[in-house]
Amino acid sequence: PRRGGSVSPELERLLALRGLDIRIDRFEEKLSALPRRLRATQQRLATAKENLEKQKKLIKDLALERSEGEHQVEALSAEELKFESRTPEVKTNEELRALRKEIEDVQGRRSILETKVLEGMEREDAERAKLPSLEQEVSDAEAADKAEREAITTEQTELERGRDDVARDRTAVMEELRPELRARYERVRKAHSAEAVVSLEKNACGGCHTAQPPQRVQEVRGGERLVICEFCGRLIIGESEAAL
């Protein structure tokens, strides 16, 4: 904020403290976003692996279904041969017609099953052909997850270093404040985050936007003493650009 005149050293320290806390909050905000970024790549990898496993299970189920169909075809073929072997034993035309009917029925069922087995084989081949693409998706997701982990680790180290540097500066400034002012600042900051110190905006507190009495407005503009908003407890220092 701009001030409408000179500001006492104590108020200058409060302004510096406000700026340092804003910087620390920005570091913390960026640090808190890192896990969300990592979860995004982990979710992509988990989805890719899940899709691959689903495809493998589908192929396994299709192969099992095909195998069962082939066994049924073999059983019907054996049944047909059994009926055929009885042909020489038939004595009458009626018995022969009945036997032929049995054979035709077996042949019909076998034909349907053979068609179903062939269709199953074609689908199995088509689904198996999708595996390389799904495996590549897993590989790509693993590479992306690894790269993001490395990038996040580097970024986290840099952010923590920057935050800690600013925190040391903050500690130094805090030590220059009177104990009671230090305690008030921390109490207000806990309630209002970095907005413990605000500007005067159109004669109102820049935090809660409550109009301030004329005397307090003049005190803020004088810049010589600490002005506290009696409505929200924030420390009002200087005027914003919009108010000048």
pLDDT averaged per 10 residues, the chain (length 244): 58 89 94 94 97 98 96 95 89 90 94 95 97 98 97 97 97 93 89 82 90 89 82 83 44
Q: Which of 183, 227, 225 is nearest to 207 (CA)?
A: 227
The pLDDT of residue 191: 84
Whether residue 241 contacts residue 2, with contact meaning beta carbons closer than 8 Å, is answered with yes
pTM beyond 0.85: the answer is no
Cα distances from 34 to residues 42, 100, 104, 193, in angstroms, run 12, 76, 71, 21
What is the per-residue pLDDT for 62? 96
- Burial bucket for residue 194 (CB in 10 Å: 0-12, 13-18, 19+): middle
d(CA 85, CA 5): 117
Q: How many Å is the maximal CA-CA distance in the chain?
A: 128
Q: What is the pLDDT of residue 220?
A: 86
CB 127 within 8 A of CB 63: no
Give me the torsion for CA of 24, 29, 33, 34, rounded to 10°.
Answer: 0
Q: What is the pLDDT of residue 240?
A: 63
